[in-house]
Structures are given as structure tokens and as C-alpha cells.
Amino acid sequence: MAKTLKRIDAGGLQIEALYPRRSRYDTPQQRAAKQKASSEAQRRMNRIYSYQQLELLLATNFPTAGSGLVVTLTHDDRHMPRNRAAAQLRFKYFLTKLRKERKAAGLPEPVVFWAPEILTSESGRWHQHIVIDNTGNDLDMIRRCWIYGSDIEATKLRVDDEKNWETLARYMTKELRECQEYDTKPGLHGWSCTRNAKRPETETITVDDDYDIAPPEGSTVMLDDRKRTEFAAYHVVKYRFDGVRTGHRAPRARRRRKVRRR
């Protein structure tokens, strides 16, 4: 007997799902129960992943508190763009200037995530939400590169129970979901990132039947969903590392036996 362990490794954030493997010796009732359990585990994981795709990417690229800066860039009256297309061109120019500033300072190319430009109904101003890797002097560079206004808000990324990658992902896509203009463009992507952004790793392996998911010491469990029936069970856990991640690895995949030819 064995189980399947599926794991999404997003640096400071992990999601693991454990569900039964079907066997050729299973009865039809057992096979149906295992199929249902694995399907429910996958659906549970998919619901997490579909909503949290941005969250997982943020956790992968900004794995600890303070490793990223959450910034809002706002246009002033003098530089107010005519429309969204003009606002997008200005943001691209800002990124170009920022890359040059980083290169001149001997720093790596910036890793940046951003939400679509939003025109607020209250102030009538275009503004842009971004998250950028924190090198220490980024705010000064951002102020020099953002030539379209002095209204710049910046805070260090928080990773705790109140604010973390999930709340940040919700915040960056909140206005997009509530913006009526985007209701007429259902295929529009809710966020973008630079090409050098890292992607989370997904691994599916076989583990022993008595194996269970055990978040490592020092991690904080954010979700623990378990269901068991007479013939099958699934277990889905989401947890984060609040500090520097140390030495946690998933079990290794089983090696296949070599069949000797006679």
C-alpha cells in the first residue's frame, strides 16, 4: 500500500496534499472511494492554487518579512494620463529607468510584480500597486525613476497572521475585481511580473501508507483540511515559514526496481 504526496514549494510558503493510490487489488467499492478522495484533495488544492497563484509567486520571490517593498505610485495633476494605455506606457518607462538605476549601482535586475493601473473613483487619479525586491536603497531609486508625481507610498512586506502574502495578493487584485471596466474584459490578466521572477516548484511522489504530513518545527499552519472515510482519506496542509527556512525537504521519490532480463 502507498499514498501520493503532492507538494507546491513556494519558498516561504508550502502546500502539501496527501491522498491514496489505487491498486489493482482494490474492490470496486475501494477503488471508487479512493478516486473520490484523490479528486476531493485535488479540487481542494486547485481552489487554493487558482486563487493563490499570485500569493505563491509572491512567497517564492519574497520569502521573508522585509524581503520585498509594497509600493503605490500615483500620478499628480501635471502628469495625469489620458487613459489606461498612456498610464501603462509610463509605467513601462519607469521600469526601464529603474533597471538602469539598478545596473549602474551594481545591483541585480529588479524583480517586480504589479497590478493593472487603476483609476480611483474617489480621487480620480491613476495609481499603480507594485511589489519589488528590497535591496536597501530602493525607495530613493523609485523616487528618482517615478517622475510622474511625488505621492509614493512604500512599506516593507509583512509576514504574520494579520498581513502576509495572501492578504497582499488579495489587496493587489481587489480593485481589479471591483472595477466595472474590467467586467467587460473577462480575459484580462489580474497582475503581471518581470521575466526574472521565480516560479514555485511542484512535485508529486509516492510515500509509504503510514506517512502523514507534518509541518516542520517553526512553521505556522494556515490551513489543515482532513477527511477520512471507511476506505480512503485525504489531507491538505498549507503552512508558512515566518523566518529563514531551514532544512525542510519532502520525502524522496521511490526508486523503481530494475527488471532483469533473462
Q: Which three cell numbers stand for residue 87?
A: 498610464
Cβ(158)–Cβ(171) below 8 Å: no
Query: In Å, what is the CA distance from 191 to each residue of 173, 176, 216?
Result: 7, 9, 32
Task: Kindly tell me if the per-residue pLDDT of 256 is higher than 50.
Answer: no
Position of cell 512535485? Answer: 203
Q: Which three cell numbers stand for residue 97?
A: 529607468
Question: How distant is the alpha carbon of residue 165 from its chain centre?
Answer: 7
DSSP string, 94-134: HHHHHHHHHHHTTPPPPPEEEPPPEE-TTT--EEEEEEEE-
User: Per residue in 23-33, pLDDT tens?
Assistant: 554 456 555 55
Cβ(133)–Cβ(11) below 8 Å: no
In this structure, the number of other CB atoms found within 10 A of the CB of residue 147 comes to 12
User: Per residue in 169-201, pLDDT tens?
Assistant: 888 877 655 654 444 444 445 688 999 999 999
User: Per residue in 34-65, pLDDT tens?
Assistant: 555 556 656 655 555 445 788 999 999 999 99
pLDDT of residue 175: 63
pLDDT of residue 10: 92
pLDDT of residue 117: 76
How far apart CA 159 and CA 167 sit, in angstroms, is 10
How far apart CA 229 and CA 35 sit, in angstroms, is 12
Q: Can you give the residue ranges of every domain in the chain?
A: 2-59+199-241, 68-156
How far apart CA 19 and CA 41 sit, in angstroms, is 7
Question: Which residues, other chains included, contact 262 with Cβ-Cβ below 8 Å and sequence gap of 6+?
Answer: none
pLDDT of residue 25: 46
pLDDT of residue 123: 62
pLDDT of residue 165: 93
**CA nearest neighbour of 234 among 9, 16, 2, 20:** 20
Torsions phi, psi for 21 (to 5 deg):
-95, 145
Q: Check residue 106 and give left, alpha or beta (phi > 0: left; psi -120 to 50: alpha).
A: left
Find the mean pLDDT for residues 195-215.
90
Cβ(160)–Cβ(102) below 8 Å: no
Q: Which three cell numbers stand for residue 64?
A: 521573508
20 pairs with which residues across the strands?
3
Task: Kindly report the pTM of this predicted structure.
Answer: 0.75
How far apart CA 251 and CA 218 sit, in angstroms, is 19
pLDDT of residue 65: 94
**CA nearest neighbour of 37 among 262, 228, 198:** 228
Find the mean pLDDT for residues 147-173.
91
Task: Kindly tell me if the per-residue pLDDT of 72 is higher than 70.
Answer: yes
**R_g of the chain, CA atoms, integer Å:** 23
The topology under which CATH files domain 68-156 is Alpha-Beta Plaits (3.30.70)
Q: Tell me the CB-side half-sphere exposure of residue 198, using CA atoms within 13 A.
A: 16
Q: Tell me the CB-side half-sphere exposure of residue 222, using CA atoms within 13 A.
A: 21
pLDDT of residue 209: 80
